[in-house]
Amino acid sequence: MSKRKFSLQLDYLPKLPKNKKVGIGCIGTGFIMADCHLVAYRNAGFNPVAIAGRNVERTREVAARHNIRGVYETYQELLCDRRVEVVDIAVPPDVQLEVVEEVVKHKDHVRGILAQKPLGVDYQQAKRIVQLARRAGITLAVNQNMRYDQSVRACKCLLDRGDLGTPVLATIDMRAIPHWMPWQQRQGWVTLRIMSIHHLDTFRYWLGDPVRVFASVRPDPRTKFRHSDGICLYILEFAGGVRASACDDVWTGPAREGAESDIGIHWRVEGTDGMARGTIGWPSYPDRTPSTLDFTTKRQPGYWFQPRWNEVWFPDAFVGPMAQLLCALEDDTEPEISGKDNLKTMALVDACYLSAKQHRAVKISEITRGRPEKH
């Protein structure tokens, strides 16, 4: 059988809603909102109708750039705009709870919330946010946007249709230098809750929920404010035997101090019937660098298949989380990135912190039940 006869039709793009005119109110005017969310929404034909931020001049600038007519000095004023049916929240995690507390007061016209990750500062705060939305009858989704990176989604398609067989091992190796936000200094944490949360959620997306995790961390020599979780390594154990591991290296050597750089993100999934490997294009932003996927399978022996696409994670994949929320509202279903589901990712992150602190493997149930084991 020739290479051409093997299907390369991978389900790597998000499902879009039939009704794209639902009014979206945007809270926050930082990079993620201005350069990712709103760019993606306009390209998809979504309908942002109002925006509010901390600095009204910045808010007007972003509104003009993206042709948003409703400009508000405070998010409380925005929430009174009855055109807003979905609220898109992009604020620091330690502010998110108080914003949601205000949003749920407008349940008469607000039907959905897309909250930024991390969903609050820890699992307990995330649980509170989920409870608030549920009691108000508002559908809550969380912007775990790496699930909508094109290579991550294509790998999920391979796993779902059995091209890789039973998963055996998955790895992610990140060597990249993020731009840390000023608000992280007051949190006292860096990589696990901001960068690793993407990879932990991706492992859950690919493989299901792990039973336990072992994590080891050390400070990043470049980041000057006090923190523990700079460079992070962790291993996830799943009940069925599959294992996953990641190295999240935000140092990558003295790449900004005079040495040459070696930056990139590589992932790999091995199964009993095939293997997939890929790269994530994000570290090259603002250059448009699509993520990549190569895979091989026993179903078509002797080939490495290399499907490619033009879409990129930043900003194109940011269509996905909002599209999933709009589809859930349209179909009266729970989003695949629901707040309830995201509690499992938040618990996994907290388990990593506890593991690193106590130098032991931690069961995820210790976090969800609120009863850490004694050692």
Identify the residue whose tokens are 């929240």: 89
**Residues in Cβ contact with 58 at an 8 Å cutoff, skipping those fewer than 6 apart:** 29
C-beta separation of 117 from 197 below 8 A: yes
Bridge partner list, 264: 175
- Per-residue pLDDT at 188: 87
- Per-residue pLDDT at 8: 78
Bridge partner list, 207: none
Burial class (CB in 10 A: 0-12, 13-18, 19+), 19: exposed
- Per-residue pLDDT at 181: 87
- Per-residue pLDDT at 37: 98
- Per-residue pLDDT at 94: 96
Select 23-146+329-337's CATH number: 3.30.565.10, 3.40.50.720, 3.40.190.10, 3.30.930.10. Answer: 3.40.50.720
Domain positions in the chain are 23-146+329-337, 150-312+346-355
H/E element, 240? none
To the question of pTM greater than 0.85 for the whole model, the response is yes
Identify the residue whose tokens are 């890789």: 164
Q: Return per-residue pLDDT of the chain as tens, 375 residues.
A: 334 345 778 999 999 999 999 999 999 999 999 999 999 999 999 999 999 999 999 999 999 999 999 999 999 999 999 999 999 999 999 999 999 999 999 999 999 999 999 999 999 999 999 999 999 999 999 999 999 999 999 999 999 999 999 999 999 999 999 988 888 889 888 999 999 999 999 999 999 999 999 999 999 999 999 999 999 999 999 999 999 999 999 999 999 999 999 999 999 999 999 999 999 999 999 999 999 999 999 999 999 999 999 999 999 999 999 999 999 999 999 999 999 999 999 999 999 999 999 999 999 999 999 877 776
CATH topology of domain 150-312+346-355: Dihydrodipicolinate Reductase; domain 2 (3.30.360)
Q: Where are the alpha helices (DSSP H) in the chain?
A: 31, 38-44, 56-65, 75-78, 93-103, 123-136, 150-160, 183-187, 191, 197-207, 319-331, 339-358, 364-368
- Per-residue pLDDT at 3: 43
- Per-residue pLDDT at 2: 37
